[in-house]
Amino acid sequence: MHGQVAYMFGDTTAKEKGRLSLNPIKHLDPLGTISLIVIGFGWAKPVPVNPYRFKNPARDMVFVGIAGPAANFIAAFLLARLFYFPMPDVLKLLLEVTVQINVMLGIFNLLPIPPLDGSKIIPYFLPRQWQQSWYHFEQYGMLVLILLLFIVPGFTGVVLGVPLQFMLKLVMFGIPVS
């Protein structure tokens, strides 16, 4: 999704590197995949984006940053509509988990911590003199993210859990799940 939005704004980098594909294999990161299997937390290869190819780099990066979480929320909303149709309980459970994962990923990726999508949105709203400091912080983002997720007690429950419950209610629109 990020590559598509970047392409819409004039950046052909993802296309040139074959990353405008729906084939999940093209997006797998070997270490991220192993990590997902071993510790239950993983990641995909970042989509290559070159903001210097945009007409308005700061503004266009906001749209690129919003693209991933927006896709997750839209997918969750559309998938939740399937609950109106009769289906076996096992499919209903699979659908419920898929909706929850999409909402959780959308919220998680909006966190303003590099390399997450939320970190691509923040610089647009910062005063120009603070932007360079923000870009300097990017190199420490993954460390900060790991510390918050695995060291800071209650981080996931408060920062992710509360918005997750709110967004699930919003996405489900009163649809009875169980």
pLDDT digits (tens, 9 = 90+) for 51-81: 999 999 989 999 999 999 999 999 999 999 9
Q: Determine the Cα–Cα distance for residues 5 and 11; give it in Å rounded to an integer.
A: 9
In terms of residue numbers, what domain contains 29? 1-55
Answer yes or no: do 90 and 167 share one domain.
Answer: yes
Confirm if 42 and 33 have CB atoms less than 8 A apart.
yes
pLDDT at 172 over 80: no
Answer yes or no: do 45 and 90 share one domain.
Answer: no
pLDDT of residue 60: 95
Answer yes or no: do 94 and 172 share one domain.
Answer: yes
In a domain, 60, yes or no: no
pLDDT digits (tens, 9 = 90+) for 84-126: 899 999 999 999 999 999 999 999 999 999 889 999 998 889 8
pLDDT digits (tens, 9 = 90+) for 127-157: 988 888 888 888 898 889 888 888 888 888 8
Domain count, the chain: 2
Q: Determine the Cα–Cα distance for residues 35 and 37; give it in Å rounded to an integer.
A: 5
Nearest to 60 by CA among 72, 48, 70, 51: 51
Q: End of a domain among 55, 71, 93?
A: 55
Answer yes or no: do 114 and 48 share one domain.
Answer: no
3-state secondary structure 10-71: CCCHHHHCCCCCCCHHHHECHHHHHHHHHHCCCCECCCCCCHHHCCCHHHHHHHHHHHHHHH
Chain-centroid distance of CA 120 in Å reads 11
Answer yes or no: do 2 and 51 share one domain.
Answer: yes
